[in-house]
Amino acid sequence: MDDTPLLEMNAVSKKFTSKSSELEILNQADLCINKGETMAVVGASGIGKSTLLNIIGTLDKPDSGSLMYKGQDLFSYGDEKLAGFRNRKIGFVFQFHYLLQGFTAFENVLLPGLIAGKSKKTIEKYAANMLERVELGSRFDHRVEELSGGEQQRVAIARALVMNPDILLADEPTGNLDQKNSDSVHRLLLDLNQELGMTIIVVTHNAKLADMMNRKVTLKEGRIIPA
Ligand SMILES: Nc1ncnc2c1ncn2[C@@H]1O[C@H](COP(=O)(O)OP(=O)(O)OP(=O)(O)O)[C@@H](O)[C@H]1O
Ligand SMILES: [Mg+2]
């Protein structure tokens, strides 16, 4: 059996320095996640959870350390190869969802597929399906600025899922949602994990969501430890 972890972060360090201060966010941090696992990252505001997720999602580089995906060193990839990897394998739900203003919900969800060069018909089918699953079937043609905060968050979730990524990285995916919509997003995440074996790393202050994950970790003194 192949027991190579899906993702392995080794001795990753990350500092932010400015004239007046030096912030040590990660200090030789290690993390290992297997295919199909679900993990919650909890911890105080400003401790570095989004920074960690950005590094795992290859959007930011650490000062030192390595990140392996199925045994391959991701930071040895050139920019273009890394962008392709991110597009195909990683779904990202950002804390501040970064949808394209002026475009419709549907267009926003189509975008990752169009970037990947998928056929329009295929990607339209997936995008419609994902918008239905986040209960936005009646909002396809609304532009982003015509949607509520919670609806925008759900469009961002649909966009992250449209390429059927190996790994979903979600930064406070239910931060703007009411109880009912939070519950339905929680259910969607668990369904995707069970149906597709999608690996999920979620940053959350929502105790209910954190408890649903297989594992809970926290950041402390730059390390990732069991919560
Ligand atoms: N690009 C940057 N330059 C300088 N400092 C940064 C940068 N990005 C983040 N920081 C700092 O690093 C620390 C960790 O930020 P991060 O966004 O990772 O925290 P967080 O745990 O996600 O917080 P929250 O729960 O509030 O979202 C913060 O103190 C922040 O000010
Ligand atoms: Mg954050």
pLDDT in tens, 29-84: 999 999 999 999 999 999 999 999 999 999 999 999 999 999 999 999 999 999 99
Query: How many A from CA of 137 to the centre of ligand 1?
Result: 35
**Which ligand gives the minimal distance to the CA of 15?**
1
Nearest CA to ligand 1 atom 13: 46
Mutate to test the pocket of ligand 1, among 23, 59, 63, 220 (most ligand atoms within 8 A of CB): 23
The predicted structure's pLDDT at residue 1: 62
Percent of the chain with pLDDT over 70: 100
pLDDT of residue 7: 97
110: Cβ–Cβ under 8 A, 6 or more apart, which residues?
A: 123, 124, 127, 162
Q: How far is the CA of 45 from the centre of ligand 2 (A)?
A: 7
CB hemisphere CA count around 134 (13 angstroms): 30
Q: What is the pLDDT of residues 148-182, one digit of tens each?
A: 988 999 999 999 999 999 999 999 999 888 898 89
Instruction: Give the lowest-confidence range in 81-85, 184-188, 217-221.
Output: 184-188
In this structure, the residue with its CA closest to atom 3 of ligand 1 is: 16
Please report the pLDDT score of residue 155 as a whole number. 95
Is the per-residue pLDDT at 197 higher than 80? yes
Dig out the tokens for 200 from the structure: 């999920």
Question: What does the pLDDT read at residue 84?
Answer: 95
- Mean pLDDT on 95-102: 91
Residue 29, CB-side half-sphere exposure with 13 Å CA sphere: 29
Residue 122, CB-side half-sphere exposure with 13 Å CA sphere = 10
165: Cα within 13 Å, side-chain hemisphere: 29
Cα–Cα distances (Å) from 113 to 79, 126, 144, 174, in that order, read: 19, 9, 19, 24
Ligand 2 centroid vs 48 CA: distance in angstroms?
7
Q: Above 80 in pLDDT, residue 110?
A: yes
pLDDT of 184 reads 86
In the chain, the domains with their CATH numbers are 7-226 (3.40.50.300)
Spatial distance between the Cα atoms of 173 and 184, rounded to a whole number of angstroms: 12
Residues whose beta carbons lie less than 5 angstroms from ion ligand 2: 50, 95
Residues 111-150 pLDDT 10s? 999 999 999 999 999 999 999 999 999 999 999 999 998 8
The CB density around residue 35, as the number of other CB atoms within 10 Å, is 15
Encoded tokens for 224: 């990732």
